[in-house]
Amino acid sequence: MTEGGVIDAATAMTEQSTVTQATATKIAALPDAQVVTAVRHYTDRLFSFRVTRPRSLRFRSGEFVMIGLMGDNGKPLLRAYSIASPSWDEELEFYSIKVPDGPLTSRLQHIQPGDAIILRPKPVGTLVHDALLPGKRVYFFATGTGFAPFASLLRDPDTYERFEEVIVTHTCREVAELTYGRELVAGLAEDPLIGEMVAGKLRYYPTTTRETSPRMGRITTLIENATLFADLGVPPLDPATDRAMVCGSLGFNRDIKLLLEAAGLREGANSEPGEFVIEKAFVG
Ligand code: A2P
């Protein structure tokens, strides 16, 4: 037993130094390299991962950066990924789809702690508080991996300082696809930084479209037939009080934009704040 233990420890040390060396080589070979610190798979289509944060990187909650891997042609293969972690976190977190034939995600889904990825430290985006006019209530409307920027905004104290009520909706095909968002929201109440701020302010409204769950249907349908407002006990969308941030597929963004505009809300931007802002969740 003792001998076995000694051998195990020795083997582990050798493996450890091998991994460290391999990682160092990979990092040296990549421009803007960051090291993967954790990976979690939720379904065969979804995973999240954490990477080291460049010391100089400052970002506003809701922004995205370009991340990726070196392509076979020796050129970086980069895509826009919303930063899912809050700005005070020492690491960066991302939430990603896995597309079997997606040029990047078919490879990215296999990353392991210790691997290196490329991360261009230039955050940008419109899903930021600066692009919204002050209001009473903010809606975060997400489908699929469009939840990612809200994972950052929901952990930002600014969100609860700016609004009296924060409503986050997340629509996915299946129940398991809600896990990342559901766990994140559940964890907020326990969070030492914002646990108290969240109490009584945050409402979470998950729905599924292809698997039975307590709440079913596309959020666009639930807005159109006013089920969302009846369920939450809030008045219909009103430009005087309500603000919205939207992140999902192209079709979703287009359809919800029409509904928000029909309710009298105008789209904002960093240069000209408005009543709602929109960003496409990256796919592929
Ligand atoms: P549905 O199952 O009815 O297509 P995806 O995984 O394809 O990105 O979709 C994520 C979720 O967004 C699904 O529940 C899907 O519903 C929903 N969705 C897709 N397109 C739209 C749209 N145009 N408007 C509202 N919801 C949508």
Domain-located, residue 204: yes
Report pLDDT digits (tens) over 64-109.
999 999 998 989 999 999 999 999 999 999 999 999 999 999 999 9
Average pLDDT, the chain: 91
Confidence of residue 22 (pLDDT cuts 50, 70, 90): low
Is the pLDDT at 9 greater than 60, yes or no? no
* Residue 192 included in any domain: yes
* Ligand 1 atom nearest residue 254's Cα: 23
Collapsing DSSP to helix, strand or coil, 241 comes out as: coil
Q: Are residues 165 and 262 in the same domain?
A: yes
Give the mean pLDDT of 269-279.
97
CATH number, residue 266: 3.40.50.80
Last residue of a domain, one of 124, 158, 177: 124
Instruction: Please indicate, yes or no, whether residues 83 and 184 belong to a single structural domain of this protein.
Output: no
143 in the same domain as 120 = no
**Are 88 and 207 found together in one domain?**
no
Ligand 1, residues at Cβ distance < 6 Å = 143-144, 171-173, 209-210, 218, 220, 249, 251-252, 255
Ligand 1 centroid, distance to 218 Cα (angstroms):
7
Which region, left, alpha or beta, applies to residue 133 given φ > 0 means left and ψ of -120 to 50 means alpha?
beta
Q: What is the mean pLDDT of residues 267-279?
A: 97
User: In this structure, what token pair is assigned to residue 197?
Assistant: 């701020």
Instruction: Assess whether 82 and 173 both reside in one domain.
Output: no
Q: Which domain holds residue 68?
A: 11-124
Residues ≥6 apart with Cβ < 8 Å to 278:
126, 127, 245, 246, 247, 253, 256, 257, 267
- Separation of CA 146 and ligand 1 centre (Å): 11
Give the pLDDT band of residue 154 (cuts 50, 70, 90): very high
Q: What CATH number is given to the structural domain containing 41? A: 2.40.30.10
**Residue 163, exposed/middle/buried by CB under 10 A (0-12, 13-18, 19+)?**
buried
Q: What is the pLDDT of residue 19?
A: 47
Residues 264 and 159 in one domain: yes
Q: What span, in angstroms and rounded, lies between the C-alpha atoms of 234 and 236?
A: 7
For range 186-215, the mean pLDDT: 95
In this prediction, residue 10 carries a pLDDT of 34
Are 108 and 173 in a shared domain?
no
Q: Which residue among 45, 141, 143, 169 has the greatest number of ligand 1 atoms within 8 angstroms of its CB, and so is best to mutate?
A: 143
Residue 1 domain flag: no
140 and 261 inside one domain: yes
Tell me the mean pLDDT in the region 19-24.
55
Judgement on whether residues 213 and 139 belong to the same structural domain of the protein: yes
Task: Name the residue with the closest Cα to ligand 1, atom 11.
Answer: 172
181 shares a domain with 90: no
Determine if residue 229 is left, alpha or beta; phi over 0 gives left, psi from -120 to 50 gives alpha, anything else beta.
alpha
* Structural domain contains residue 2: no
* pLDDT tens profile 123-146: 999 999 999 999 999 999 999 999
The encoded tokens of residue 81 equal 């990924």
Q: Which atom of ligand 1 lies at the shortest distance from residue 172's CA?
A: 14
Residue 5 lies in a domain: no
How high is the pLDDT of residue 24?
A: 55
- Portion of the chain with pLDDT greater than 90, in percent: 85
Domain check: are 91 and 228 in the same one? no
Least Cα distance to 168 among 195, 193, 149, 194 occurs for 149
Please check whether residues 100 and 152 belong to one and the same domain. no
The residue among 204, 236, 231, 207 whose CA lies nearest residue 219 is 207
Q: What is the pLDDT of residue 188?
A: 96
Residue 284, pLDDT above cutoff 80: no
Report the number of distinct structural domains present in the chain.
2
